[in-house]
Amino acid sequence: MTEDKFKHEEDLFCSGHRACPGCGAALTSKLVTEATGPQTILSMPTGCMEVTTTPYPESAWGISWIHNIFENSAAVAGGIETAYRSFDKRNKEGYMNHEDVNFVVLAGDGATFDIGIRSLSGMMERGHDVLYICYDNEAYMNTGIQRSSSTPIGAATTTSPAGKESFGEDVHKKDMPSIAAAHGLEYVATASVAYPEDFKKKVEKALEIEGPKYIQIFAPCPRGWRHESKNSIEIARLVVETGLYPIFEMENGKITNVKKLKDRKPVEEYLKVQGRFKHLFEKEGGEEVLEELQKIADSNAEKIGIDKE
Amino acid sequence: MAKMMTGYNAVAEAVKACNPDVIPAYPITPQTDIVERISEMVADGELTSEYVRVDSEFNAASTALGASAAGARIFTATSSQGLKLMSEPLFSASGMRLPLVLAIANRSLSAPLSIWGDHTDTFAERDGGMIQFYAEDVQEAMDNVAMAYRVAEDKDISLPALSCLDGFILTHVQEKVDPFTQKEMKEFLPEREPIHTLDPSDPISMGAYARPEHWTETRYEVHRAVNKAKDKIGKAVKEFADVFGREYGLEHSGLLETYRAEDADVILVALGSVCGTMRYVVDEYRDKGEKVGMVRPRVYRPFPVKEINKVLEDAEAIAVLEKDVSLGYQGGLAIDIKSALYSNGSRIPILNFIVGLAGRDVTKDNLRNIVEQTKELRGKKPEDVDFGDEERWEPLRTELLPGDEE
Amino acid sequence: MTEDPYEDLKISKGAVVKPRTTLVNKTGSWRSEKPIIDHEKCIACGNCEKFCPDMAVKETEEGKFEIDLEYCKGCGICAEECPVKAIIMEEEEK
């Protein structure tokens, strides 16, 4: 039995979950619960975090948690939130007040960018008081590393492998934060697990706002990206430092806060430590994709204003 | 006091009396008028439910599921393709034991596209752990909504329930109905007391995944709850009769109704509105001195196997008429009735007729044809009957069939 | 003490689960390398705790950071992120 000195019983996200060593999504889950506190109902779609945290009869969660199916966690959260609005209006006994509960979704990029985008769009459009957080590991990891519309160009996955005729994923990552912002959201932000305090502050800030909010956090997957588990944080830092994953806040459609960089690093520094980009360095023609990726970083820097003068 | 009302109005009135907390709504013909009428009630302040104008039936069901998990009473309605789109969350709602009440304005499934009524939509949901009620007329469509809440929200059951009414034939016909009063409804339908909620002060995890060593037992428990609903439906129908004075097959636990079937040689079995015409044809035969009767299951899942056996076991020939077909093998209702009777040792010949698909009228002549074909089987055993293509289509316009290419 | 959800397990309605019950699953057995903190070097910055995806690093009442080897999967993030290199990864004995 657990030694009392470690006080796991106070955690809202608990040890014993079955996520891989060095999992960025598991770290995200911990940070989310630390920021939301116990007065939270978390809706989660099918995915790595769902299967690794709740094999019946176990659960890693210390907060109220619900999983239904892959593509509806935003609508489920919207339904829960609406129920609490109704309980308030009808003075129903035995339920907390709507304003005292945080309604949160935590979903992977497949569930967010692809299969669940209808639910997410509907939830945002209707103005539900829900904070939607996407842990972005840039592919379908739970089913074995297939590409999603979040997979960056040049990344090899099990459905976009590098081969004689291929340099891995051949289309650009979908710009979800802009799609969220286009729904008229008061608050959209990006984050990276390399900066836990920044992420938690963003979650706390978002929860102060009534209505839909969207936060996307970069969460490395050692198994899927083929890097050592100890490097998860380093990679999550490098993606920001190269400008490939700018972290910012967007309020009412305008960028209001960006993590600025003094000396933006070349994208190779981020790419070379991951097996999923290995072919770009080994195969003839890979340099063109590397250039393409550098252009993305440069364009991010310009558009979002990353570089410090 | 009795009022003339369309089926969609009657369902909306029932919903108002049951007073759900959350109503996610999405339009689809021929259900649309139900949620339109409810939106008017909300707009006029007659109903204080939260009305959520969702983006799809998929998210109508998903929103309903979330609200139900939080502890709310919910209502939504759909038809056809909409029910297909709801199928995934509905199947999981039963596994999670979350009560949801839906009105289904039955309509055929594509392709070809048709907006007209049959039962192919709800039959496709048969295996999902949902209770399925079928109404014969507008009054019953209204009453079944209240009974669906009563059973779905019962703590021993806690499952989704579909209250089905034939698209257009019942949704858009006007009939005389007795509306509910709020006072009566309070007596019949208690507040929902959820078996578990997402209350953050007492956190639980809902929707865990199960491994092979537990999954079978979790599903068995859902199966048991669906079966247990038979008793609960019986009790609900009894109390419904006490409070509202309307009876639905009380002597058969409220699971089915019979019409002149007690001493009948030939019995017709069907669900829903076609039974109105069947009563007329049964009377015709009875006037001629021929012993023809009718059995109408009110509930398709759970399947009332005991009650079906009891009312059919003395017949000499049976015709099962249904507005659905399991492409590749007969109609679902006939398969179930054969299974019920034949595993009980019965050797009554049973003919299966596929009728009324996609709104095709089922006329008195069609029914007379069916009775005549069934009469010929009296006294025979199934093995002595040439069933030909297993099921018969009444009618099938053979002149339209291209035949096989050489 | 951790509640063992497998003890006298009866299927709950809707298969709902009690909170914090993965604590019965001691993931320490997954480890091939274990972190060892040199408390002399440690400046108690808390990075090891902050970045641990397994909630296996905790600050004890004495204000020291310690690793719960019952759960630590040995990912090595704590050693990597330690600014004073106070944590080393040592191969587990087979």
* Per-residue model confidence as pLDDT tens digits over C52-92: 999 999 998 888 999 999 999 999 999 999 999 999 999 99
Residue where the block lists tokens 């079955």: A18
Q: Is B326 helix (H, G, I), strand (E, B) or coil?
A: coil
Q: What is the pLDDT of residue B386?
A: 82
The ranges assigned to domains in chain A are 4-305
Q: What is the pLDDT of residue C45?
A: 97
Measured distance CA(C63)–CA(B245) in Å, rounded: 73
CB A261 within 8 A of CB A62: no
Q: Is B361 helix (H, G, I), strand (E, B) or coil?
A: coil
pLDDT in tens, B282-300: 999 999 999 999 999 999 9
The sheet with strand A187-192 has its strands ordered as A254-258, A248-251, A187-192, A213-218, A131-136, A102-108, A40-44, A64-67, B205-206
C-alpha A280 chain-centroid distance: 25
CATH numeric code, B256-400 = 3.40.50.920
Q: CA C36 to CA C90: how far, in whole Å?
A: 7
User: Nearest-CA distance from B61 to chain A in Å?
Assistant: 9
**Mean pLDDT (whole number) for A178-205:** 98
Number of H helices, E strands in chain A: 12, 10
| A206, A211, A212, A217 alpha-carbon torsion, rounded to 10° | 0
Average pLDDT over residues C17-28: 97
Q: Which residues of A touch B218 (CB under 8 A)?
A: 56
Report CB contact under 8 Å: C26, A59. no
Please, which residues have CB within 8 angstroms of residue B105's CB and are 6 or more apart in sequence? Answer: B7, B8, B30, B31, B34, B77, B78, B79, B117, B165, B166, B167, B168, B170, B171
**Average pLDDT value for residue range B139-165:** 98
| A83 closest CB neighbour out of B48, B67, B207 | B67
Contacts of A245 (CB under 8 A, 6+ apart): A190, A192, A218, A239
- The better pLDDT of the pair A3, B388 is held by B388
Q: How confident is the model at residue B1 (pLDDT cuts 50, 70, 90)?
A: confident
What is residue A77's predicted lDDT score, i.e. its pLDDT? Answer: 98
Does residue B173 carry a pLDDT above 50? Answer: yes
How many separate domains does chain C show? 1
- Give residues 43 to 82 of C whose Cβ lies within 8 Å of A: 50-56, 58, 60-61, 66, 68, 70-71, 73-77, 79-81
Interface B:C, Cβ pairs < 8 A: 39
Q: Which one of B98, B214, B221, B226 makes the best mutation probe of the C interface by having the most chain C beta carbons within 10 Å? A: B221
Q: What is the pLDDT of residues B191-226, one digit of tens each?
A: 999 999 999 999 999 999 999 999 999 999 999 999
State whether B98 and C14 contact (CB < 8 Å): yes
Residue of B nearest to A39 (CA): B200
Residue of A nearest to B213 (CA): A56
Query: What single-letter DSSP state applies at residue A146?
Result: B
Question: Are C80 and A234 an interchain contact pair (Cβ–Cβ within 8 Å)?
Answer: yes
B226: tokens are 């669906």
Complex ipTM > 0.95 = yes
Residue A124 sits at the vertex; the CA angle it makes with A121 and A130, to the nearest 5 degrees, is: 125
How far apart are the CA of B128 and the nearest CA of chain C, in angstroms? 14
Which residue range forms the structural domain that includes residue C61? 25-91
Determine which of B60-64, B140-144, B388-392 has the lowest per-residue pLDDT on average: B388-392
- A4-305 placed in CATH 3.40.50.970: yes
Among A268-277, B175-184, C2-11, the range with the most confident prediction by mean pLDDT is A268-277
Check residue A121 and give its pLDDT: 98
Residue of A245, A270, A269 lying closest to A258 (CA atoms) = A245
* C7 is a domain residue: no
C52 within some domain: yes
CATH T-level topology, domain B3-244: Rossmann fold (3.40.50)
Using the predicted structure, report yes or no on whether residue B359 has a pLDDT greater than 70.
yes
Q: Is the dihedral angle over the CA atoms C74, C80, C83, C84 positive or is it negative?
A: positive
- What length does chain A have? 309
Among A16, A22, A58, whose Cβ lies nearest the Cβ of C75? A22
Confidence of residue A56 (pLDDT cuts 50, 70, 90): very high
Residues of A engaging C, defined by a Cβ cutoff of 8 Å: 1-9, 11, 13-24, 26-27, 30, 53-54, 56-63, 193, 196, 222, 228-234
d(CA B112, CA B154): 39
Q: Which neighbouring-strand residues pair with A106?
A: A133
Residue A41: list chain B partners with CB under 8 A. 70, 198, 200
Distance (Å) of CA A153 to CA A40, A122, A216, B23 = 36, 28, 19, 43
Cβ proximity of B101 and B149 under 8 Å:
yes
DSSP A181-216: HHTT-SEEEEEETT-HHHHHHHHHHHHTSSS-EEEE
Judge whether C10 lies within some domain: no
| Residues in chain C closer than 8 A to A18 (CB atoms) | 22, 25, 27
Cα–Cα distance for residue pair B139/B148, rounded to 1 Å? 14
Residue B181 banded pLDDT, cuts 50, 70, 90: confident
Smallest CA–CA distance from C16 into chain B, residue:
B206
Give a yes or no: residue C4 inside a domain. no
Q: What percent of chain B has pLDDT over 70?
A: 100
Phi-psi region of C51 (alpha: psi -120 to 50; beta: other; left: phi over 0): alpha
Q: Which residue of C has its CA nearest to A32?
A: C53
Q: Do residue B205 and residue C15 have CB atoms under 8 angstroms apart?
A: no
Cβ contact, residue pair A78, B66, below 8 Å: yes
* CB of C14 less than 8 A from some CB of A: no
Between chains, do C20 and A1 touch, taking CB under 8 Å as contact? no
Q: Which of B156, B197, B204 to mutate to test the interface with C (most CBs of C within 10 A)?
A: B204
Domain ranges of chain B: 3-244, 256-400
The residue with tokens 């009473």 is: B73
Contact B205 C18 (CB under 8 A): yes
Indicate the range of A130-134, A156-160, B6-10, B181-185 predicted with least confidence: B181-185
Rounded-to-integer distance, Cα B85 and Cα A34, Å: 36
Q: What is the mean pLDDT of residues C32-38?
A: 98
pLDDT at position A4, please? 66
Is residue C16 domain-resident?
no
Of B196, B214, B217, the CB nearest to C16: B196
Closest CA to B73 of A66, A76, A92, A83: A83
Q: How confident is the model at residue A167 (pLDDT cuts 50, 70, 90)?
A: very high
CA A183 to CA B30: how far, in whole Å? 31
Report, as an integer, the average pLDDT of B6-31. Answer: 98
Say what the pLDDT of residue A1 is: 45
pLDDT on residue A2? 45
CB neighbours of B229 closer than 8 A, spacing ≥ 6? B131, B151, B154, B157, B159, B302
The predicted model gives B254-274 an average pLDDT of: 98
Measured between beta carbons, which residues in chain B are less than 8 angstroms from residue A85?
50
Interface with chain A: mutation pick from B52, B62, B91, highest number of A CBs within 10 Å:
B62
Sign of the dihedral through C-alpha B336, B342, B348, B352: positive
pLDDT recorded at residue A160:
97
Averaged confidence pLDDT in chain B = 97
Chain C residues with CB-CB distance to A67 below 8 A = none
Neighbours of chain C (3+ CB pairs under 8 A): A, B
pLDDT surpasses 90 at A49: yes
- A71: which chain B residues are within 8 Å (Cβ-Cβ)? 58
Of B217, B213, B232, B227, whose CA–CA distance to B95 is shortest?
Answer: B217
Which residues contact residue A269 at a Cβ distance below 8 angstroms, ignoring those fewer than 6 apart? A238, A241, A242
Instruction: Give the per-residue pLDDT at C1.
Output: 54
Mutate which of A68, A91, A104 to disrupt the B interface (most B C-beta within 10 Å)?
A68
DSSP-derived 3-state class of residue A138: coil
If you measure CA to CA, which chain C residue comes closest to A193?
Answer: C51
Query: Is the link from the previous residue into B302 a cis peptide, with omega within 30 of 0?
Result: yes
The answer to whether B225 touches B158, Cβ cutoff 8 Å, is yes
Residue for token pair 């830092």: A237
Which residues in chain A are contacts of B69 at CB distance < 8 A? 66, 76, 79-80
In total, the C-beta contacts within 8 angstroms joining chain A to chain C are 136
- Chain B residues touching residue C13 (CB < 8 angstroms): 97, 158, 195-196, 221
pLDDT band at A202 (very low <50, low <70, confident <90, very high): very high
Neighbours of A163 (CB within 10 A): 11
* B chain contacts of residue A106, beta-carbon cutoff 8 Å: none
| Cα–Cα dist B12/B18, whole Å | 10
Segment B287-346, tens digit of pLDDT: 999 999 999 999 999 999 999 999 999 999 999 999 999 999 999 999 999 999 999 999
Residues of C in contact with B214 (CB under 8 A): 11, 15
Cβ-Cβ contacts under 8 Å, A62 against chain C = 19-20
Whether B77 shows a pLDDT value over 60: the answer reads yes
Comparing CB atoms, the residue among B195, B208, B221 nearest residue C17 is: B208
